[in-house]
Amino acid sequence: MFGVNLDRKHLENFDFTLFLTMLVITVIGVVAIYSAGYDPVTATVKKYYVRQIYWLVIGYFMFFVCSTIGHKKLVKYSYIIYALGIIVLVAVLVMGHVGMGAQRWISIGGLRIQPSEMFKLVWVVFLARLYLDISRDKFGMIGILRKMIWVIPPFTLVFLQPDLGTAGTFIAIWGMVLLVMGIKRMTMLVIIISMVCAAPVLWSQMKPYQKKRVVTFLNPEKDPFGSGYHVIQSKIAIGSGGLTGKGFLKGTQSHLKFIPERHTDFIFSVIAEEFGLVGSMVIIILFMLLLLRIMLISLNAKEPAGKLICIASSGFIFFQFYVNLAMTAGMMPVVGIPMPLVSYGGSSLLTFMSMLGLVNGVAMRRFDDPSDD
């Protein structure tokens, strides 16, 4: 079904800027995860960084695989891929592994993977197909509703796990692509009013811990030793890093275990404390460079499927990076969204590296005839 469509011309167009930027970000991620697992009392390090390296090896393999597979073939069979992805999400609710009060993982060959993360790659490919029939006219309400039907199954299934943060990303990226395509002014007004009216309904369906996260965001000091603890400690860590940081393995907030989930959701707090504003800016600049490169690839792509894959991929990376950074700084509620390519987690890492592989594949085929399959 998915044959390799590659020749010497494609290899010559390999985007080394994209690859090297991704490489640097992932290396920084491993260093940060190593530090997050360091215990100064026993002078030992938890093996999170070793597992991350294993996942990275697989991730680079997936990057090259996705680069060699023609994205147009994936888009062609996107409805089948979407259906298979939905079936896996249903299987998670039926037989998934339960951990930390959520049912989000399934075991395959002794490895635990999070299908909701993997579905992000499916969503990128499917959005490219969903908006492939775009015209020059902006979308009206009927057109939007037709496109919106497809976001309901993944959102609902992931929301029921429950994982509101990941579920929300599917709607966010769908909306980002829709905005790029264009929406009529009156339709946009109706959507905004509808979202305001739907907010109370969504609030009533949220779990108690999810509601507490929103309340904590508005006033974390109200419960400094309870629901507000995470955000307060994270902000202390970021602020205490100063200009150049406390130094590698010298962060007190992280190594004295004041920061929770420091190797996943709050990895940016570890970086900011140990490397300060300088280290934080390096991360921000690298992600800006990555996003700008993807947008440049999108501009140079000659056919719509490649452009849409780049738009959706950059949307995912920007949204998750911004939400994670804002969450650790107390600018948004804690929703459990990891930082792409940096936070610990095999499913997330493989998803984003595969996503960037698709983007690289678009760059490699930018001089192909748009009519070729």
In tens, the pLDDT along 302-323 reads: 888 999 999 999 999 999 999 9
* Predicted pLDDT at 279: 94
What value does the mean pLDDT of the chain take? Answer: 85
Is pLDDT larger for residue 203 or for residue 54? 54
* Predicted pLDDT at 122: 95
CA angle 294, 152, 266 (to 5 degrees): 55
Q: CA 272 to CA 68: how far, in whole Å? A: 37
pLDDT at residue 43 greater than cutoff 80 = no
Average pLDDT on 148-160 reads 92
Tens digit of each residue's pLDDT (9 = 90 or more) over 324-347: 999 888 888 777 789 999 999 889
* Predicted pLDDT at 80: 95
Q: CA 168 to CA 156: how far, in whole Å? A: 10
* Predicted pLDDT at 223: 60
* Predicted pLDDT at 185: 79
Angle between helical axes of 164-181 and 115-130 (0-180°, round to 10): 20
Give the tokens for residue 363. 């760059």
* Predicted pLDDT at 249: 87
Tens digit of each residue's pLDDT (9 = 90 or more) over 80-101: 999 999 999 999 888 877 766 6
* Predicted pLDDT at 213: 66
CB-based burial, 142-169: b 16+ in 10 Å, e otherwise: ebbeebeebbebbbebbbebbbbbbbbb
pLDDT at residue 252 greater than cutoff 90 = no
> Sorting pLDDT into bands at 50, 70 and 90, what band is 253?
confident
Rank 145-159, 228-242, 331-345, 349-363 by mean pLDDT and report only the highest: 349-363
* Predicted pLDDT at 186: 81
Q: CA 125 to CA 313: how far, in whole Å? A: 9
> Sorting pLDDT into bands at 50, 70 and 90, what band is 215?
low
Provide the 8-state DSSP code for 139: B
> Sorting pLDDT into bands at 50, 70 and 90, what band is 372?
low
* Predicted pLDDT at 273: 92
SS3 65: helix
> Sorting pLDDT into bands at 50, 70 and 90, what band is 224?
low
Determine how β-strand 38-39 pairs with β-strand 44-45. Answer: antiparallel
Angle between helical axes of 346-364 and 16-36 (0-180°, round to 10): 170
Is pLDDT larger for residue 38 or for residue 313? 313
* Predicted pLDDT at 200: 82
> Sorting pLDDT into bands at 50, 70 and 90, what band is 221?
low
CA angle 78, 336, 50 (to 5 degrees): 85
Give the tokens for residue 23. 């490489």
pLDDT at residue 34 greater than cutoff 70 = yes
pLDDT at residue 181 greater than cutoff 60 = yes
| Phi, psi at 99, each rounded to 5° | -155, 135
How far the first Cα of the chain sits from its last, in Å, is 13
Tens digit of each residue's pLDDT (9 = 90 or more) over 120-150: 999 999 999 988 865 556 677 777 888 889 9
> Sorting pLDDT into bands at 50, 70 and 90, what band is 54?
very high
Tens digit of each residue's pLDDT (9 = 90 or more) over 260-276: 778 888 899 999 999 99
